Amino acid sequence: MLNSAISIWEACLQYIKDNISEKSYFTWFQPIKAVKLQDKILTIQVPSKFYYEYLEENYIKIIKSALTKNLGKDAKLVYSIMMEKNQQSENSFTVNIPSSQKAQIKVQEVEAPLFIERGVKNPFIIPGLQKLKIDSQLNTNYTFDNFIEGDSNRLARSAGKQIAKRPGGTSFNPLFIYSSVGLGKTHLAHAIGLEVKRIQAEKTVLYVSMEKFCQQFQEATKSNNRNDFIHFYQMIDVLIVDDIHFISGKKGTQEVFFHIFNHLHQNGKQIILTSDKSPVDIQDVEQRLISRFKWGLSTEIQSPDYTTRLAILQQKMEFDGIALSEEVLDYIAKNIKTNIRELEGSLNSIIAQATFNKKEITLELVEKTLSNLITNSKKDITIEYIQNLVCDYFKVSIDALQSKTRKRDIVQARQLAMYFAKKYTNASLSSIGIQIGKRDHATVLHACKTVDNLFETDKLFKSYVDDLNKKLTSDI
Ligand SMILES: Nc1ncnc2c1ncn2[C@@H]1O[C@H](COP(=O)(O)OP(=O)(O)OP(=O)(O)O)[C@@H](O)[C@H]1O
């Protein structure tokens, strides 16, 4: 009985395969098993209720044709649905449902097991198989219009614009945006989502931080709703995951995200990821995920240059309805360089000071207000500066430091330069490697680990590190 079920189903699959896309076949038919054939009634086992509903809704015609072709006109189909174990039953179990009788069968609604806060049901509910209607969680203040373009973000911004026009249809999938803090990753990610919705309102867009995704996944696992959780995310057209690096070290979440990612990617859905590190610099993440992160376009947003900082200040000024003199704007833009959030924060402090004290915004007031911020913020230490300092300290030439030589003293100096570049700059491991002798990110990582080890075990080496540290920090 089983053998004949299998061979009939295989014949049906052959027919189905010839009539639908390879992707759909792979997603929806490969996981199905034929389990019984009796009196021309073929029973197939599907992995979940969701599968059953999806097949009934989308593929029932083709399944029927295939069955009729192979078993004749009286052929019937029964689904055996794998149910996840729940509080009532310890083990997984199956439920048999005849095809196309949904009206007589009370199919429970499939709920996406998402929670905004513990115990509060998330509004994201999948009502049967209707198109998802969810709150995209997009911040309407973060648009393309108020995202100032500059050299630091040009590539990311223009890729974002193209994606918004054709989500899933460009080679930028996933779009992986990385930068150090406060440089506009989140703003840009929201802007893409909003633009997609503006152009194609019917698209299902969802913004979620990786931190929230992890929480939701834990909740879903606890309440035995793991499958619904996965299915919910697999129905999204444009999935934006902020701070993906938060997945580091979380094996279960990596596993589930891997499946969601694959499903979306295979089905031409758009994925946008943001991170504080480049894909190769994210630690403790499975290689198969890292390679997927690098699949589309990885682009770094760098610190904005003076002109961009000035343009951002001017825009904010207009938005807040205030006027600042050119010299004041110039002072802020020249002195607050680290990140845009700080730039905005400085302007807010100045406005607050002026309003509370009923004073005009003069250069003097601005200097006083920002003095604390400016002395506390790190002056720029560049990789070039670090290399010069290290070479000077060990009396070696820059050429030797950047060469391929394996001489012990040069290797040591090179490793220290890499270590301090990692410590005092925002550059990624790959960027440090390229600038210090065209090495790869793994060499930089190895250098940092070696310095850490020697610092703990070698007194003389520790004194080198301490000396160099002092020299570097005395300049901050
Ligand atoms: N190019 C830009 N034009 C105008 N405003 C910007 C730009 N880039 C960033 N901002 C503003 O700077 C602030 C910080 O940006 P955002 O939160 O997107 O940074 P982030 O890189 O995601 O930071 P984090 O790493 O801390 O999450 C936001 O208020 C944002 O609107």
Q: Which domains can be identified in the chain, with CATH numbers?
A: 2-101 (3.30.300.180), 139-300 (3.40.50.300), 306-376 (1.10.8.60), 383-473 (1.10.1750.10)
Q: How far, in Å, from the CA of 424 to the mean position of ligand 1?
A: 22
d(CA 189, CA 143): 9
Q: Cα 62 vs. chain centroid, distance in angstroms?
A: 37
Please answer whether residues 34 and 79 qualify as being in contact, where contact means their C-beta atoms are separated by less than 8 angstroms: no
**From the alpha carbon of 149, which atom of ligand 1 is closest?**
1
Contact 303 CB / ligand 1 (< 6 Å): no
Radius of gyration for the chain, computed over Cα atoms and rounded to the nearest angstrom = 29
At residue 55's C-alpha, the angle toward residues 50 and 61, to 5°, is 160
pLDDT under 70: residue ranges of the chain = 1, 49-50, 53, 82-132, 372-380, 474-476
Kindly report the pTM of this predicted structure: 0.60
Q: Dihedral of CA 331/345/135/124: which sign?
A: positive
Contact 154 CB / ligand 1 (< 6 Å): no
Q: How far, in Å, from the CA of 122 to the mean position of ligand 1?
A: 27
pLDDT of residue 265: 93
Q: How far, in Å, from the CA of 339 to the mean position of ligand 1?
A: 8
Q: Respond yes or no on whether ipTM tops 0.90.
A: yes
Q: How far, in Å, from the CA of 140 to the mean position of ligand 1?
A: 14
pLDDT of residue 122: 37
Contact 153 CB / ligand 1 (< 6 Å): yes
The dihedral over CA atoms of 33, 37, 40, 45, expressed in degrees to the nearest 10, equals: -30
d(CA 321, CA 360): 15
pLDDT of residue 22: 78
d(CA 310, CA 146): 14
pLDDT of residue 11: 93
Q: Is 160 marked as a binding-site residue?
A: no
Q: Which of 428, 429, 423 is nearest to 469 (CA)?
A: 423
Q: What are phi and psi of 175, to 5 degrees?
A: -95, 120
Among protein residues, the one with the nearest Cα to ligand 1's atom 29 is 341
* Amino acid, single-letter form, for residue 329: L
Contact 179 CB / ligand 1 (< 6 Å): yes
Q: Is 121 marked as a binding-site residue?
A: no
